[in-house]
Each structure stands twice: as structure tokens, then as C-alpha cells.
């Protein structure tokens, strides 16, 4: 384990010459190693074992949270919590009486913990800088992702309706050309995006491509990040308004169910913690009613993928969230039927009446 820790600590080589932000896996290795070192310190310093127990428990809770779904390397708050616990432990280790002679191995462990503190401090500061850059950055909505691809799309061909699939990772990971060969279906999904970012991409990634229709699958990441449902509804409404104004037909898909069936494989796959099924159902009820009010096509993935327990069917996703090949095989004919119904019919007004 010492070798693993040294490898992680050395990964940055010189912090000024490499990215000091640790990948999630490496950060977790350091956190777990730190807990081992803090626990072992109590054998050499009995008073430290008693006084340090609450501190070690705080560190354990950070690791537990990091192993839960939805946490990534940019969670500076958790990093700060762990760093605070580590500093408290080191301060306590300096203060409590130590046996004489002090074991050489125990001394090495404290040295390793201090090196770890320095590395995690650099990691934490880099996270803060990264977050600040994201907030101030010129590409919050990741418009650069498809900027070049959009220039090569060309004009739609008559008799071959173009449809843009707008969404997050569920769309991003869908190889549309394999499921819909010889169709002018354009994938404009970006992993991790919320509806506000998709709204920001509407002109470049949808309107400028002049599709006959846009198929929108969004909202699960908003729910996971605690975005109020009213905000999600407002964003979807504005996305639809833009499509309406540019005479692009709207297909709104239901948010997919999620499940906890695969949490035994990885604790991060316990999806209902941050994506409550009740919130998903509430949003889907609104999406369906909104489509009925506006005359849009409602694409109901949810009903075809949910099981009797209200969870995403276990065989349709390997992590309880993202469809696998079996999941996309369920979705594909539903999407195609909704598209054909939408683009082959007469234009629909906001009141739902045919023009």
C-alpha cells in the first residue's frame, strides 16, 4: 500500500509542471491510505487512538460519500472536509505524549501523512482554481464540443428529414448511426449536462443545423444536482419556445427511471439517492402534460423501461442509469416511431391543433 501511495504522491512530479488535480481514483487511494495510517498511529501512541477516533470517523465518512453516486473530483467541499480531518489528526499527534523511544515505523507514518497533507492541499487549491475557471470560462455550455462538427453537417436533403438528438450522457453514448442507418439523425448529447446548458447550446447545436425536429432527453442530471423542478420546467419551456419560433418540431422524451440493482458491484451505482424516483415521475408527468398542451410528441421511454418496483429494469443498464445495448434496443423503436409520427404529420400549433 505504501508503494501505491508513493505513486499517487509522485504523479504530479512537480506541481508547477503538471495538473495537481487528482483523478477520483487516485484521490480515493490517498484518502483510504490516510485512514489506514491514522488508525495504525494509535498502536504506537495509545492516547492518539482514543482522542483521534472522532477525527478518523469524519475521514471515513468522506470516503463513504466519495464512493456514493454523483461525486466527482471537482467536489472541493468533500476534499476540504477530509483535509481538515487530516490536519486535526496531525495537530493532535504533535500534542499527545509519545512513548520513548518512538518507533521508527510510527515516525515514517507521520511523515507520510504530512506529505499527504501537502499533496491534498495542492489538490484542493487546484480544485478551487478549476471551479473558478469554469464559472468565469467562456464556454460554460461546452459549445466547443461540436463546433467543428457543425461546420461539416451541410444542408438537410429533401425527403430525408433531419432530427437533432439533444441531451446528456444517455444521448452522448448512443451511436445513432448504428441504430438508425441511412437517417439524417444528428447526435448532440454531452455527458453531464443539465437543461440550462442545453438551452445555451440551442442555437449552435440545433437551430443552425436546420432540423425538421429536435428530440430532447434531459433532466436526470438536473435532479441529481438538486436543480429545482421549476427551473428544469422553465428551461425545457424555453428550449421548446426557441424550436417553435424556428418552426422546428418538438419531441420531448420522458426521463428514464433509475435503479439500485447494481450497487453491489459499485456503491456509486446506488442511483436513487440523488435521483429520487418520485422526482423523476413528477417531471415526467409535467413533460407529458406540457406536450399535450403544446401539441408536441411525448416520447415515453419511462413506461417501457421501468419494472414493477418503479426501477429501471436491471438488464437494461449496467450501472442503474446509463442504458446498455439492451436498453438502447428498447429505446430505438420508440424514438423512431415518435420521429416518424412527428415529421410526417402536418405542423402542429401551440394549442395542439393541426395547421
Which band of pLDDT confidence, cut at 50, 70 and 90, is reported for residue 348? very low
| Range among 27-36, 327-336, 346-355 with highest mean pLDDT value | 327-336
Distance, CA of 134 to CA of 141 (rounded, Å): 10
Give the tens place of pLDDT for each residue, 311-345. 999 999 999 999 999 999 999 999 999 999 999 85
For range 193-212, the mean pLDDT: 97
Distance, CA of 283 to CA of 286 (rounded, Å): 5
Let me know: does 329 contact 305? Beta carbons within 8 Å: no
| Range among 6-10, 30-34, 297-301 with highest mean pLDDT value | 297-301
Which pLDDT does position 14 carry in this prediction?
A: 34
150-344: CATH, from 3.40.605.10, 2.60.120.10, 3.30.450.40, 3.40.50.1110: 3.40.50.1110
Q: Which residues pair with 251 in a beta bridge?
A: 215, 297
Distance, CA of 179 to CA of 217 (rounded, Å): 17
Give the tens place of pLDDT for each residue, 84-102. 999 999 999 999 998 889 8
Query: Among 298, 208, 198, which Cα is nearest to 250's?
Result: 298
Q: Which residues contact 210 (CB under 8 A, 6 or more apart)?
A: 155, 156, 162
Domain parsing of the chain, residue ranges: 2-136, 150-344
Choice among 99-103, 147-151, 195-199 with the minimum mean pLDDT: 99-103
Amino acid at each position: 500500500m505504501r508503494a501505491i501511495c508513493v505513486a499517487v504522491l509522485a504523479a504530479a512530479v512537480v506541481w508547477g509542471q503538471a495538473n495537481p488535480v487528482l483523478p477520483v481514483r487516485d484521490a480515493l487511494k490517498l484518502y483510504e491510505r490516510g485512514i489506514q495510517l491514522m488508525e495504525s498511529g494509535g498502536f504506537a501512541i495509545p492516547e492518539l487512538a482514543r482522542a483521534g477516533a472522532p477525527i478518523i470517523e469524519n475521514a471515513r465518512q468522506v470516503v463513504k460519500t466519495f464512493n456514493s453516486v454523483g461525486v466527482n473530483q471537482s467536489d472541493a467541499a468533500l476534499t476540504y472536509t477530509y483535509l481538515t480531518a487530516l490536519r486535526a489528526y496531525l495537530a493532535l499527534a504533535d500534542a499527545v505524549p509519545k512513548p520513548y523511544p518512538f518507533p521508527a515505523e510510527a515516525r515514517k507514518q507521520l511523515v507520510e501523512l504530512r506529505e499527504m497533507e501537502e499533496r491534498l492541499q495542492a489538490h484542493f487549491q487546484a480544485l478551487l482554481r478549476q471551479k473558478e475557471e469554469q464559472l468565469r470560462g467562456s464556454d460554460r455550455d461546452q459549445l466547443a464540443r461540436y463546433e467543428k462538427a457543425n461546420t461539416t453537417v451541410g444542408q438537410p436533403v429533401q425527403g430525408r428529414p433531419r432530427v437533432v438528438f439533444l441531451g446528456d450522457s444517455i444521448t452522448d453514448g448512443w451511436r445513432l448511426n448504428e441504430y438508425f442507418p441511412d437517417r439524417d439523425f444528428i447526435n448532440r448529447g454531452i455527458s453531464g449536462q443539465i437543461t440550462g446548458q442545453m438551452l445555451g447550446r440551442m442555437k449552435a447545436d440545433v437551430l443552425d443545423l436546420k432540423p425538421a425536429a429536435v428530440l430532447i432527453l434531459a433532466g436526470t442530471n438536473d435532479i441529481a444536482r438538486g436543480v429545482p423542478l421549476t427551473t428544469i420546467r422553465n428551461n425545457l419551456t424555453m428550449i421548446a419556445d426557441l424550436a417553435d419560433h424556428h418552426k422546428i418540431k418538438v419531441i420531448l422524451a420522458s426521463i428514464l427511471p433509475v435503479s439500485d440493482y447494481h450497487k453491489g458491484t459499485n456503491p456509486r451505482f446506488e442511483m436513487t439517492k440523488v435521483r429520487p424516483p418520485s422526482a423523476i415521475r413528477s417531471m415526467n408527468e409535467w413533460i407529458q402534460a406540457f406536450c399535450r398542451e403544446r401539441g408536441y410528441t411525448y416520447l415515453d421511454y419511462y413506461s417501457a423501461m421501468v419494472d414493477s418496483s418503479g426501477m429501471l429494469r436491471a438488464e437494461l443498464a449496467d450501472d442503474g442509469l446509463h442504458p446498455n445495448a439492451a436498453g438502447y434496443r428498447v429505446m430505438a423503436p420508440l424514438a423512431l416511431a415518435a420521429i416518424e409520427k412527428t415529421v410526417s404529420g402536418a405542423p402542429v400549433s401551440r394549442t395542439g391543433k393541426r395547421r
